[in-house]
Amino acid sequence: MSQELHDLIAAFARHGDSGDGGVKRLAASSEDRAARDLLATEIRRRGLTLHVDAIGNMFGAAALVPALPEAVIVGSHLDSQPTGGRYDGAYGVLAGLLAVEAVAARATDRPGAARRNLVLANWTKGEGARFQASLTGSSVYAGTFPLETALALADADGTTLGEALTAIGYRGVSDLPFEPVSYVELHVEQGMRLDETGTDIGVVTGAWAARKLSLVFRGEPSHTGPTPMARRRDALRAAARAIDLVYDEVEASGTGAHASAARITTFPNSPNVVPSCVQVWFEFRHKEKAVAIALGDGFLTRTKAALLPLGVSVEIAVDERRGAAMLDADGVALALAVARDLGLSTLAIKTVAGHDALALQKRVPASLIFVPSREGLSHSPKEFTDEIALDKGLDLLTETLWRMVTAIG
């Protein structure tokens, strides 16, 4: 058993400990700073070179073949949701750290075997919690999200990500001096398939598509007391109908899609004023992009019809359509081969949740490997994976990285 891994997970869970088994470690918060400081210490302690880039991504580089520019990157994110678990993200970073250390040691024992350098990454803001939009650091690194736009993202208090990173001392200037050739991420599943089937390892072949719709409902402010009921133009009532329709739409479709309405802002949000403006963030997810889009269309049609008698208008503030991303097929084949060699059972699955690997895939062939999570719970303090399962993931990751670093051609 890798006691070091379990001790590291426990040590990092103390930064942002929510007192109920989970963590609240929002991106660029003081808790995130403490976890980053601890990671920097652990990186240096293992003889790796620390780099922090302009969006705060942290790298711990093992220069196995300093003369060559190519590197394999392994990583995940240390930030969490407000109701985060202790494994989501942190497991991938900490198992990555130990895997890099182990591969570097094997490379030292076998001079000439390594053909690529190896780098651990902690991507800034894997979660979209304090600042909206997720996978920010990895998307900037992949070149699909402009650095300046990312630094200008503002939280609810108007603090930008750039300011927050400066405040915690992680707005860096040290880009990673290697060219990435492949990326691997290890993560807890955030779904039930491995747990239900008793499988050791999930090899992720791709991601579900998603349509993210943010709608603004506009009514009219009036006094909650005397205003006659028939004259109220209640934006919160309209939003409530739409929220309930999300579930109806998905059930009626029979597509097995997932959908949610999880964020809401209400104005003026006073008990004595009929709400005049409400914004709600909706998501529709399915394996196929066309289904996710059609669900959103159906939902919009039903919502508009339901709102007609309420005197409330609706407009679309955001309509983001993410295609069903594919991950690296060679990476899938390699992980399956390694699992077979190690005697681990596997399942090829699609991820519903977003992951930094999906952002990286746009720049470099990327792989994503899951271990089981009890009852599939995540973004919850009840998130849990036992030590044996965590160790199996670490073993698989280490061997996969070794083969990636030493592969010929």
Report the site for a copy of itself in 351-380 (rule: CB under 8 A).
351-354, 376-380
Classify residue 2 as left (phi > 0), alpha (psi -120 to 50) or beta: beta
Residue selected from 50, 167, 192, 342 as contacting a copy of itself according to rule CB under 8 A? 192
x/- map, 284-303, a copy of itself, by CB under 8 A? -x------------------
Binding of residue 6 to a copy of itself (CB under 8 A): no
Binding of residue 243 to a copy of itself (CB under 8 A): yes
CA-closest candidate to residue 274, choices 324, 322, 238, 323: 238
CB of 40 to a copy of itself, least distance (A): 27
Residue selected from 272, 308, 343, 409 as contacting a copy of itself according to rule CB under 8 A? 272
Binding of residue 75 to a copy of itself (CB under 8 A): no
Residue selected from 111, 225, 254, 343 as contacting a copy of itself according to rule CB under 8 A? 225
Classify residue 89 as left (phi > 0), alpha (psi -120 to 50) or beta: left
Whether residue 129 contacts residue 81, with contact meaning beta carbons closer than 8 Å, is answered with yes
Residue selected from 220, 288, 297, 391 as contacting a copy of itself according to rule CB under 8 A? 220
Rounded alpha-carbon distances, angstroms, from residue 254 to 249, 279, 298, 376: 9, 27, 13, 22
Binding of residue 250 to a copy of itself (CB under 8 A): yes
Binding of residue 17 to a copy of itself (CB under 8 A): no
Binding of residue 197 to a copy of itself (CB under 8 A): no
Task: Please identify, among the stretches 71-79, 102-110, 179-187, 279-287, the one whose residues bind a copy of itself according to the rule CB under 8 A.
Answer: 279-287
Binding of residue 178 to a copy of itself (CB under 8 A): no
Cα–Cα distance for residue pair 185/243, rounded to 1 Å: 34
Binding of residue 128 to a copy of itself (CB under 8 A): yes
Cα–Cα distance for residue pair 89/77, rounded to 1 Å: 5
CA-closest candidate to residue 246, choices 276, 203, 280, 206: 280
Binding of residue 223 to a copy of itself (CB under 8 A): yes
Toward a copy of itself, which CB reaches closer, 192 or 342?
Answer: 192
Maximal CA-CA distance, the chain: 83
Binding of residue 254 to a copy of itself (CB under 8 A): no
Helix (H/G/I), strand (E/B), else coil: 228: coil
CB of 102 to a copy of itself, least distance (A): 30
Binding of residue 255 to a copy of itself (CB under 8 A): no
Toward a copy of itself, which CB reaches closer, 52 or 186?
Answer: 186
Residue with tokens 């506009």: 218
CB of 194 to a copy of itself, least distance (A): 11
Binding of residue 43 to a copy of itself (CB under 8 A): no
Rounded alpha-carbon distances, angstroms, from residue 230 to 138, 217, 219: 50, 18, 13
Residue selected from 227, 253, 313, 406 as contacting a copy of itself according to rule CB under 8 A? 227
Binding of residue 60 to a copy of itself (CB under 8 A): no
Residue selected from 87, 141, 170, 281 as contacting a copy of itself according to rule CB under 8 A? 281
Toward a copy of itself, which CB reaches closer, 118 or 371?
Answer: 371
Binding of residue 158 to a copy of itself (CB under 8 A): no
Question: Cβ–Cβ contacts within 10 Å for residue 259, how many?
Answer: 23
Residue type at 12 in one-letter notation: F
Report the site for a copy of itself in 91-120 (rule: CB under 8 A).
none
- Buried-state track 168-202, b at ≥16 Cβ within 10 A, e below 16: bebbbeeebebebbbbbbbbbbbbeebbeeebbbb
Per-residue three-class SS string for 85-131: CCCCCHHHHHHHHHHHHHHHHHHHHCCCCCCCEEEEEECCCCCCCCC
Cα–Cα distance for residue pair 311/235, rounded to 1 Å: 9
Residue selected from 2, 166, 253, 266 as contacting a copy of itself according to rule CB under 8 A? 266
- Burial label, 3 (beta-carbon count in 10 A; 0-12, 13-18, 19+): exposed
Residue selected from 31, 42, 53, 127 as contacting a copy of itself according to rule CB under 8 A? 127
Toward a copy of itself, which CB reaches closer, 171 or 285?
Answer: 285
Rounded alpha-carbon distances, angstroms, from residue 73 to 119, 138, 185, 213: 5, 12, 9, 33
Toward a copy of itself, which CB reaches closer, 59 or 145?
Answer: 145
CB of 403 to a copy of itself, least distance (A): 29
Binding of residue 331 to a copy of itself (CB under 8 A): no
